[in-house]
Amino acid sequence: MPTLVLSRRYSPDSNALFAAALAAGWDVERLRSFRCPEDIAARGPVFYGETILADAIASELGIVLLEPTADWLPGLPQHHRLRDVRLTTLAEAQTIRDGVFVKPTDEKCFPARVYANGAAIQPDPVLPPDLPVLVSEPVAFEVEFRCFVLERDVAALSPYIRGGEIARNATGEWEADQADIECARAFLRALLADDVVDLPPAVVVDVGRMAGRGWGVVEANPAWASGICGCDPASVLRVLERATVARDGISDTDRRWSRPVG
């Protein structure tokens, strides 16, 4: 059976996955540091945790982690994203004179948000000028959904954000209007059925309704580093298992989605 590998950070998401893994008969290893047990690579490791930990231990685990490429969102057809998005560098983004949404493509090394102009980003001076960032025209998402995708099928779907706030009620339940849920599913079905849209075999895709524009893709993220919101943990485990590939058995198809090893 697989072994779910978790970081030392206890969170509702990691705790839910821990319980789901045990219920499925998996082993679970919650690391106490950036060092792994000596036999872990032979125990079918399936990783869930922070990117900094993933980069530190992937080689030790003998795995490759799958994720969308940095240019995935800009490469989507316009009718799926409904706004201009491009991949550029931090230095170039800082020259933009108009209001713009800016997001680092990997680590959260500065806040992803709308800036009055590029000069307002004011990142840490240690960040390299060629740091890859996504820039896009500002839009307002009225509601957002998180979707764990497995082999182009919706494995799990949850409300994520509504009106700019996390979509949870006072009792902790993830809420959304039924009509919005149905629209999100319909949009996802159309997106996943579009042969022009290239996707990793296991990935998280966030979709939402934009004010005045309709339904579009918010972004895509690695499943192994994404919050599960209200998604069924058992279903998420299947996505995580596919997103973790043994390094010595990776296919050419998977290799193109593999996270670079530093």
pLDDT of residue 24: 97
Closest CA to 119 of 94, 145, 148, 143: 94
pLDDT of residue 232: 98
Determine the Cα angle at 47 with ends 113 and 240, to 5°.
80
Contact 3, 45 (CB under 8 A): yes
Beta-bridge mates of residue 104:
133
CATH annotation of 72-79+139-221: 3.30.470
b (16+ CB within 10 A) / e for 66-101: bbbeeebbbebeeebbbeebebbebeebbebeeebb
Contact 216, 176 (CB under 8 A): no
Provide the angle, in degrees to the nearest 10, between the axes of the packed helices 12-23 and 233-243.
90
Query: Could you tell me the pTM of the whole model?
Result: 0.94
Note the helical H segments in the chain.
12-23, 51-61, 72-75, 78-81, 90-93, 178-193, 233-243, 252-255
Contact 260, 57 (CB under 8 A): no
pLDDT of residue 262: 56
Mean pLDDT by 10 residues, the chain (262 residues): 94 97 97 89 95 94 96 97 97 96 87 94 91 95 98 98 94 95 97 97 98 97 97 98 95 94 64
Distances (CA, A) of 217 to 120, 188, 257: 26, 9, 19
Contact 202, 150 (CB under 8 A): yes
